[in-house]
Amino acid sequence: MFFTKLKRVIRAGFMSFWRNGWVSLASILVVVITLFTIGSLVFFKGGLDALVAQLKDKVDITVYFKPEAQEQDIMTIKTAVSKLSETKDVAYVDREQALESFKERNKNNALLMQSLDELGENPLGASLNIKAKEISQYESIANFLNSHMNSGASDYIDKINYFENKRVIERLSVLTDSAQRFGVIISLVLAGVAILVTFNTIRLTIYSSREEIEVMRLVGASNKFASGPFIVEGVMYGVVSAIITMIMFFPVTMWLGALTENFLSGMNVYNYYIQNFGQIFVILLIIGVLICSVSSFIAIRRYLRV
Amino acid sequence: MIYFNQVFKIYSADSVALKDINLTIESKEFVSLVGRSGAGKSTLLKILLAEEAPSKGEVFFESVNIHYMPRRKLPFLRRKIGMVFQDFRLLSGKTVFENIAFAMEASGRSTKDIEENIPYVLDLVGLTDKSHRFPHELSGGEGQRVAIARAIINRPDVVVADEPTGNLDPENTREIIRILEKINELGTTIILATHNKGVIDSLGKRVVTLEDGKIIRDDKKGKYTL
């Protein structure tokens, strides 16, 4: 009995969806716009995250050691820094590597090369390249290193560049934080507006069926049996809209791909779409189905009081 | 079978739709409710269907006080009462067949049952060849016959018809009344609200006359007199 009724409700929903083609189309269009907005926000967030990650990646602390520093001392510092909870990564650049990269950077500067040759020995010291998990954590890592400096390590540490870059790092930290916060607020506002518009559209389609719902009740349909098909229709709006939106993103991201790659250097929105296809689709599907079925449910409740 | 006991319906102090209605309708009766517009006919029927609640008094259907019924039980009451409206109220997105099937589906009848029964009622109302039409493709008389078919498909104990001929020409009116009489002969109680004098006079059955919300006359074999 339950399954017979369920089958009938689903069939009635499908039939109504199909026969009220224009109403369905209009609703789907609005839902597609909503999902497109939400999907764009997903891409926007992806782009913003990539941008922020890039900026963060450019920030580090470098500890320069004096040329005569012992590798053992350097390793002690490296191990100590690695153990800090704020540290993401420590890279050790020994003296030879430092010289190599110096030569590579200045290979066109003949004078510098010549004087380096004349010097006969490697004038450069080793260095440690430290990356923190968050930009705000550089301060504490720098303080930790500083305390080492004060307790004898200054014999072999030449300088720590954090204090030179401090202002830039702090500003970058504020910038990335506010960019992310701004992104979240914009997303919430846009998504809120889109959801309200969808809710109202679905309410209107159900409003136009209010007399039918009343008739269904009067010929003996239970609330569930009368309202079920409308919920099924809502679910279908959501599913169809999610599929259409995903298809629409294909040419749009392809077109924007190269552009975003230049702008965000590395983040290609088209690749992002392809790589995260399943995830984005599931997000849009869930949001679409939820918005539409919940809207239908809320809208229909007031017409069931017959 | 249906029993109204001192029923009042008061919307506001100067808008009293029903005053002290006492009415008993026996099984298999054909009762006409007559009265001018606003006399309270429709309100009486709405109260019987539990579309509205009485302000005072009680209404029994068989032995059940229908306004003390939990809301989720209402569909079961409504399946025992077939309803026919002046404006037909068919489901516009469904065909003739589906409109009738809807009432059966709603009461949980089997698909086999539905397929066997609908041709029978379509034949009874003379619409066998129009079962796949949509309501907007039907004439007024045909639309009302579909509504009657829908009302009787669940074999209700009572068919309530609220001005079923109000929108129809004389020929279709006669046809609809003839169908209602036939249903009554098959053993279903009929309550017909109308202000069509010709219909009442030709029926020669019980007539209950309402005026200003009160029953002013109840004749076993009545004529239309106001």
Question: What is the per-residue pLDDT across A218-234, written as a single tens digit (0 to 9) for each?
Answer: 888 888 899 999 999 99
Range from A141-145, B44-48, B220-224 that averages highest in pLDDT: B44-48
Q: Distance from A292 to chain B by nearest Cα, in Å?
A: 21
Q: What pLDDT does A29 receive? A: 94
CB contact under 8 A, A215 and B111: no
Closest by Cβ to B75, choosing from A4, A215, A220: A220
Chain A interface mutation, best of B49, B66, B87, B92, highest count of A Cβ atoms under 10 Å = B92
What's the mean pLDDT in B202-207? 91
User: Residue A89 — very low, low, confident or very high, per pLDDT cuts 50/70/90?
Assistant: confident
B51 CA: distance to closest CA in chain A (Å): 6
| Element containing residue A62 per DSSP (H, E) | strand A61-65
pLDDT, average across residues B104-126:
92
Provide the residue count of chain A.
Answer: 306
Residues of A in contact with B74 (CB under 8 A): 217
C-alpha A212/C-alpha B17 separation (Å) is: 26
- Report the pLDDT averaged over residues B30-45: 91
> What was the pLDDT predicted at A281?
95
Within 8 A of A217 by CB-CB distance, chain B residues are 74-75, 78
Average pLDDT for A139-164: 79
- Mean pLDDT (chain A) is 86
pLDDT band at B73 (very low <50, low <70, confident <90, very high): confident
Q: Please answer yes or no on whether B154 and A220 come within 8 Å at the CB atom.
A: yes
Tell which residue, A20, B186, B159, A221, has the closest CA to residue A28: A20
Q: Is a pLDDT exceeding 90 seen at residue B36?
A: no
Q: Closest chain B residue to A18 measured between Cα atoms?
A: B93
pLDDT digits (tens, 9 = 90+) for A32-76: 998 998 898 888 888 877 877 777 777 788 888 888 888 888 888
* H or E segment and range at residue B176: helix B170-185
Q: Say how far apart CA A205 and CA A27 lie, in whole Å.
A: 8
pLDDT(B33) > 90: yes
Contact B75 A217 (CB under 8 A): yes
The whole-angstrom distance between B45's CA and the closest CA on chain A is 12
Task: Say which residue, B99 or A136, is predicted with more confidence.
Answer: B99
Q: Please state, in angstroms and rounded to a whole number, the distance separating the CA atoms of residues B95 and B134.
A: 4
Please tell me if residue A10 touches chain B, with a CB cutoff of 8 Å.
Answer: no
Instruction: Write the residue in A20, A222, A306 that is nearest to B93 by C-beta.
Output: A20
| Residue B19 or A125, more confident | B19
Q: Model confidence at A306, in pLDDT bands (50, 70, 90)?
A: low
Q: Do A223 and B72 touch (CB under 8 A)?
A: yes
Lowest mean pLDDT among B72-76, B191-195, B221-225: B221-225
Find, in chain A, the residue whose alpha carbon is nearest to that of B103.
A219
The 10s digit of each residue's pLDDT in B92-103 is: 989 999 999 999
Residues of A in contact with B102 (CB under 8 A): 216, 219, 221
Chain A residues in contact with B108 (beta carbon < 8 A): 1, 4-5
Question: What SS3 class is residue A298?
Answer: helix
Instruction: Say whether residue A2 is in contact with chain B using an 8 A CB cutoff.
Output: no
Distance from the Cα of B221 to chain A's closest Cα (Å) equals 31
Instruction: Tell me whether residues B72 and A306 touch, CB distance under 8 A.
Output: no
- Reading the block at residue B144, the tokens are 């009302």
- Nearest to residue B74, comparing CAs of A225, A95, A247? A225
Neighboring chain B residues of A19 at a CB cutoff of 8 Å? 93
pLDDT for the residue numbered A268: 84
Taking the Cβ of residue A205 and every Cβ of chain B, the question of whether any pair is shorter than 8 Å is answered with no
- How many Å lie between the alpha carbon of B133 and the closest alpha carbon of chain A? 14
User: CB distance A215–B89 less than 8 Å?
Assistant: yes
pLDDT surpasses 90 at A165: no
| Higher pLDDT, residue A176 or A23 | A23
Contact A218 B78 (CB under 8 A): yes
Strand, helix or coil at A260? helix
Token representation of residue A275 = 């790589």
Tokens of B191: 């309550």
Q: Is the pLDDT confidence value at A261 over 90?
A: no
Percent of chain B predicted with pLDDT > 90 = 69
Fold of A67-155: Alpha-Beta Plaits (3.30.70)
Residue range B199-221: mean pLDDT, rounded: 91
- Region B15-34: mean pLDDT is 93
Query: Is the model's pLDDT at A285 over the cut of 90?
Result: yes
Domain boundaries, chain A: 2-55+174-301, 67-155
Judged by average pLDDT, the poorest of A3-17, A104-118, A288-302, B203-217 is A104-118
B70 touches chain A (CB under 8 A): no
CA-to-CA distance for B129 and B151, rounded, in angstroms?
Answer: 19
Is the CB of residue B55 less than 8 Å away from at least one CB of chain A? Answer: no
**Residues of A (12-51) whose Cβ lies below 8 Å from B:** 15-16, 19-20
The predicted pLDDT at position A265 comes to 64
- Lowest mean pLDDT segment, chosen from A32-41, A151-160, B132-141, B209-218: A151-160
**CA A146, chain centre distance (Å):** 35
Distance between CA atoms of A301 and B173, rounded to whole angstroms?
A: 37
Asked whether the beta carbons of residue A220 and residue B107 sit closer than 8 angstroms, the reply is: yes
| Best mutation target, A20, A219, A305, to test chain B (most B CBs within 10 A) | A219
Interface contact B75, partner A, CB < 8 A: yes
Task: Look at the domain B27-39+75-219 and name its fold.
Answer: Rossmann fold (3.40.50)
Interface predicted TM-score (ipTM) of this complex, two decimals: 0.83
What are the DSSP E strand ranges found in chain B?
2-12, 15-25, 30-34, 56-61, 64-65, 81-84, 158-162, 189-194, 206-211, 214-219
Cα–Cα distance, B127 to A242 (Å, whole number): 43
Inter-axis angle of helices A277-301 and A162-207, to 10 degrees? 40
